[in-house]
Structure formats: C-alpha cells, structure tokens
Amino acid sequence: MPFGSADYFDNNHKQTMKHFKADIPSTNSWLMSHVRELRQRGEAVPDLWAVYTDFQSHGRGAGHNTWHSTRGCNILTSICFDTGLAAGDQFLFNLWFATATRAFLSRYVPDILIKWPNDMYVHDRKLAGDLTEHAVTGGRLDYTVAGIGINVNEETFPREIPNPTSLFLETGVRHDIDTLMDEYLEVLRAHRRQLSMKHRESLREEYISHLYRYGEPHRYRVGGEEVLGIIRDIDHYGRLVLEHHDGSVRVYEYKQIAYLGLGGQGT
C-alpha cells in the first residue's frame, strides 16, 4: 500500500485509509503532496483518506492564521475527499463538512454552533476550526483536502488566543485521541452519502439552523468600521448575508467582515 502503514476500513465497498504521523509540519501539506503524486501517476484518489498527528510544527488555519496545539492533546487531521462536485458548487462541501463535524462534536458537548464559515463554537468559544483546499480540473473538483483541529484535552492556551475552549474544559473529561479519531472518521463515513447536490437544501437548512449569531443583532467590523448587523442568510457561494442597522442587506466574502465581541477582539 502507498505511503506507509495504515488502517483500512470498508464503506460501501470503498477502501479508506488512515495514517498516523507522530510529528509533521502540516497535515494538509503532507496529504496534498501525496494526492498530487497519485494523480501524476494516473491513480485514483482514495475517498476519506486521512492523516493525523500528535504535533504540527507549521499547522495552518484559514487565511494567515496558525493553529496552537500541545503535543498529543488534540485531533490534528486532514482528510481527502473525491466529491465529484462542480467547482462552482464547492461551498456545498463546506456545508456538509461543517454539519457532519458538528454532529460528531455534539456527542460530547451540547449546543455546538457553526461560526461562519468553518469554526465550531460552544458558549462563544472556539472548539474547532478547519482549512479546506480544493484542486480544480476542467471546471470540477478533482479532489478536496479538509484539515481540522479539534481541541480535545487542551487545558491552557496562549493569552493572544482570544476565545478558545476544549472538550476537556467543557466537560472535565479526558479522551483518548486515537479512539476519537476513529469515531470522527466513522461519523464522516456515515454522513458521506449526504455530500451531493440533491441534499443541498437540507444541508443548507441544517447549517443555518446551527449558525452562530444567526438572526441576532451583533457588532461586526467591515472595512475598518464597526457596524451593527444581523446575519440573515448564507448565499449560494457561501457568502455571509448581513442586514445592517439601516435596513440595507449586503453580502460578504471571508475576511471582508470580522466578528466583534469575542474575547475583546475581532475574529
């Protein structure tokens, strides 16, 4: 089998793989590199191919963010998906991945909310965040790599991180990372059939029903200016639809708008 030892699972006759690396610069970078090698050799990309690690020396978050994690304390993983989606429908993957991840975390902590576009929140604190990267060929997604960090047994965080939490801080219970990782992949496999265009509306409804700050007036930063607004929707392209205090409705791409009131900072 390629690229070292792995655990193998069978789901509807599709083989999936799980690799553990004790120390790695970035799970997303590692997996993207190995998927490109497969493609260059003309080989198929295994759906739900995962790599996870105890420690990332150059872990990445969305944009230019980095991800803090104490060695061996948390889930740090990247997973490859062969979605078959059109490039213009890539936000459907975000809807699916967010709702499936929320379903997994809700087994341990109630009231998990999805902070647009890709973070998991509980009690105004960040429990998990992901970084999704798509490879596009001929107007379709050739493959997608979704990396996620889930704070599991973390007890303390650097002061510059404004609003973090972990499963341990929320429940007082420590968890075995390998066991949780297997369970997470199991949940993703169970939800895999929902990743299709025919489930778009149901995924969208589920995403919005658990959307952080949905339908509530809050402060945001837009173009250096503080505004009061209400999240009203997510459009087809995954943009945030915000109703401003004057009644106008505008849409925002990621990084065009920042949430205020989180640990005293915008995020």
Number of helices and strands in the chain (H, E): 5, 13
- Residue 90 and residue 141 in one domain: yes
Residues 141 and 86 in one domain: yes
Taking only the tens place, the pLDDT of each residue in 58-103 is 655 544 455 567 888 999 999 999 999 999 999 999 999 999 999 9
Better pLDDT: 121 or 6: 121
Q: Which two tokens stand for residue 195?
A: 């990743």
By the 8 A CB rule, do 162 and 202 touch? Answer: no
Same-domain status, 138 and 221: no
- Residues 127 and 234 placed together within one structural domain of the fold: no
pLDDT above 70 (res 177): yes
User: What's the rounded Cα separation, in Å, for the pair 215 and 172?
Assistant: 32
Beta pairing partners, 143: 135
Residues 186 and 239 in one domain: no
- The verdict on 145 and 202 lying in the same domain is yes
Confirm whether 266 is domain-assigned: no
pLDDT computed for residue 116 by the predictor:
97
In this predicted structure, the answer to whether residue 161 has a pLDDT above a threshold of 90 is: no
Q: Among 245, 258, 223, which Cα is nearest to 116's?
A: 258
Give the Cα separation of 197 and 255 in Å (integer): 27
- Mean residue pLDDT of the chain comes to 89
Is residue 56 assigned to a domain? yes
Long-range contacts of 196-203 (CB under 8 A, 24+ apart): 197/85, 197/89, 197/92, 199/96, 200/89, 200/92, 200/95, 203/92, 203/95, 203/96, 203/99
pLDDT digits (tens, 9 = 90+) for 6-25: 433 333 334 458 899 999 99
Percentage of residues of the chain with pLDDT beyond 70: 88
Instruction: Among 209, 228, 248, identify where a domain stops.
Output: 209
CATH of the domain at 244: 2.30.30.100
pLDDT at 197 over 70: yes
163 with 243, same domain? Answer: no
Total tally of structural domains belonging to the chain = 2
User: Of 170, 187, 209, which closes a domain?
Assistant: 209
Q: What is the pLDDT of residue 56?
A: 87
DSSP helix/strand/coil, 181: helix
Euclidean distance between CA atoms 146 and 32, whole angstroms: 10
Residue 52 has pLDDT above 50, yes or no: yes
Average pLDDT (233-244) is: 95
What pLDDT was estimated at residue 4? 35
198 falls within a domain:
yes
Give yes or no: residues 115 and 44 share one domain: yes
Distance CA 70, CA 169 (A): 14
Question: Does the residue 113 lie in any domain?
Answer: yes
**Alpha-carbon dihedral 105, 106, 108, 109, rounded to 10 degrees:** 100
Which pLDDT score, from 0 to 100, does residue 66 have?
57
Residue 265 lies in a domain: no
- Note whether 156 and 253 are same-domain residues: no
Q: Does residue 130 sit in the same domain as residue 201?
A: yes
Q: Give the CATH number of the domain where residue 158 resides.
A: 3.30.930.10
Residue that is last in its domain, among 189, 209, 229: 209
Q: Are residues 91 and 139 in the same domain?
A: yes
165, part of any domain: yes
pLDDT above 90: percentage of residues in the chain = 77
- Residue numbers of the domain that contains 253: 217-259
Closest listed residue to residue 92, CA positions, set 240, 190, 194, 188? 194
- Domain check: are 193 and 239 in the same one? no
Q: Is residue 82 part of a domain?
A: yes
16 token code pair: 């999936």
Per residue in 124-143, pLDDT (tens digit) is: 999 999 999 999 999 999 99
Distance CA 10, CA 19 (A): 15
Cα 244 to the center of its chain, rounded Å: 28
Single-letter residue type at 186: E
Least confident stretch, 42-46, 93-97, 105-109: 42-46
User: Does 264 map to a domain?
Assistant: no
